[in-house]
Amino acid sequence: MSKLSRKATVLNAKVVELLQKQVEMEAHASATYLAMSSWCDAHGFTKSAAFFLEHSSEERGHMLKIFHFLNENGVRAFSPEVKNIQQEYKGLRDVYEKTLEHEIAVTDAINAIVKLARKEDDFASENFLQWFVEEQLEEERLVRDILAMFEFVNEKESIFALKLIDERIPLEN
């Protein structure tokens, strides 16, 4: 009996705390990409608007993945509060630079949880997080490739050049 009632989850409490925070971070990313999509739409960058719309849903998917992992393993996941979403950007390059900054921050956060899971012998969480480690590699690579296109654009960033970049933004669908 004592063994059964010992705890409701095999997950480590400290790791769970970080996973709850990660739910929030993914939700924040989703809302941020939605704001970026709107900004791009308003400024005539239609492929970028579609790109950020897709990525907003992807981030929601990431959020739900962690959310379900917690709930399925006896932890009550919290619905995240999403605040402080940046709505204004200096230009298209700024949007993608902020995206890379965001993705790097997420990679660091994921790595920190993996590190803690390892330290606390929470193998279930460590194993679960491997998908996110892979995903972050992909996400960072994708945004870096887009930013590389801006290197061919001069300081003035003519609208023509920016439109050419926008046309080359890769979409999933």
Determine which residue in the list 18, 117, 125, 139 makes contact with Fe ion, applying CB under 5 A: 139
- Distance of alpha carbon 129 from alpha carbon 70, whole angstroms: 12
Cβ-based nearer residue to Fe ion, 78 or 159: 78
Residue 26 or 166 with smaller CB distance to Fe ion: 26
In Å, how far are 5, 44, 89, 168 from 155, measured between CA atoms?
A: 64, 20, 17, 20
Q: H/E element holding 124?
A: helix 123-150
In order of 14, 42, 96, 157, the CA distances from 92 in angstroms are: 39, 12, 7, 10
Q: Which is nearer to Fe ion, 74 or 134 (CB)?
A: 134
The contact pattern for Fe ion, residues 1-30, with x = CB under 5 A and - = no contact, is -------------------------x----
Q: Is residue 60 near Fe ion by the rule CB under 5 A?
A: no
Which residues in 62-101 contact Fe ion (CB under 5 A)? 62
Q: Which residues sit at the interface with Fe ion, rule CB under 5 A?
A: 26, 59, 62, 139
